Structure 1
Amino acid sequence: MDPNQVSPGRDRRIPSPISAAQAIQPSSPRLFFSAAAAASPGGGGGASHRRIAIAVDLSDESAYAIRWAVRNYLRPGDAVVLLHVRPTSVLYGADWGAIDPSAAEDGDSEESKRKLEDEFDAFTASKAQEVAQPLVEARIPFKIHIVKDHDMKERLCIEVERLGIGAVIMGSRGFGAARSSSKAGLGSVSDYCVHHCACPVVVVRFPDDGSGAGSGAEDPNKQDGPDRTGGAEEKPELHPLPQRQH
Structure 2
Amino acid sequence: MDVGNRKIAIAVDLSDESAFAVKWAVLNYLRPSDNVILLHVRPTSVLYGADWGAIDLSVDTSDEESHQKLEDHFDAFTSSKASDLAQPLVEGNVPFKIHIVKDHDMKERICLEVERLGVNAVIMGSRGFGASKRNCKSRLGSVSDYCVRHCVCPVVVVRFPEEPEAVPSPDHIAVLHEVPEEEEGVPEDQDQSSDGAEEEEQVDDVQKEQRKDGAQEEKQVHVQKDEQRTDVVQEEKEQI
Q: Above 0.5 in TM-score?
A: yes
| Sequence identity percentage | 67
Tell me what 2:34 maps to: 78
How far off is 1:75 after superposition? 1.1
How far off is 1:242 after superposition? 8.4
Tell me what 2:49 maps to: 93
2:168 is equivalent to residue 189 of structure 1: no
User: Counting helix residues as a fraction of each chain, which structure ranks higher?
Assistant: 2
Q: How many residue pairs get matched?
A: 181
Tell me what 1:154 maps to: 108
How far off is 1:175 after superposition? 2.5
Q: Structure 2: which 5+ residue stretches go unaligned?
A: 187-240
Tell me what 1:108 maps to: 62
How far off is 1:48 after superposition? 5.7
**Alpha-carbon separation, structure 2, partners of 1:176 and 1:243:** 53
- Alignment partner of 2:101: what SS? strand
Cα distance change of structure 1 residues 188 and 211 upon mapping to structure 2, 3 Å threshold = farther
Tell me what 1:124 maps to: 78
The structure with more radius of gyration: 2
| Contact 1:54/1:82 (8 A) holds in 2 | yes
How far off is 1:225 after superposition? 6.5
How far off is 1:139 after superposition? 0.5
Cα distance change of structure 1 residues 224 and 151 upon mapping to structure 2, 3 Å threshold = closer
How far off is 1:223 after superposition? 5.5
| Contact 1:174/1:180 (8 A) holds in 2 | yes
**Alpha-carbon separation, structure 2, partners of 1:198 and 1:225:** 25
1:1-246 aligned at under 5 Å gives the runs: 49-103=5-59, 105=60, 108-179=62-133, 181-182=135-136, 187-211=141-165
- The alignment's C-alpha RMSD in Å is 3.1
- Alignment partner of 1:211: what SS? coil
Runs of 4+ in 1 over 2 A off after TM superposition: 173-184, 208-212, 222-226, 240-246
How far off is 1:182 after superposition? 2.8
Give the structure, 1 or 2, with the largest relative contact order (CA under 8 Å, sep 6 or more).
1
Tell me what 1:9 maps to: none
Q: Structure 1: which 5+ residue stretches go unaligned?
A: 1-45, 213-217, 227-235
| Contact 1:52/1:80 (8 A) holds in 2 | yes
Instruction: Give the aligned residue type for 2:86.
Output: A
Cα distance change of structure 1 residues 158 and 225 upon mapping to structure 2, 3 Å threshold = closer
**Alpha-carbon separation, structure 2, partners of 1:47 and 1:112:** 48
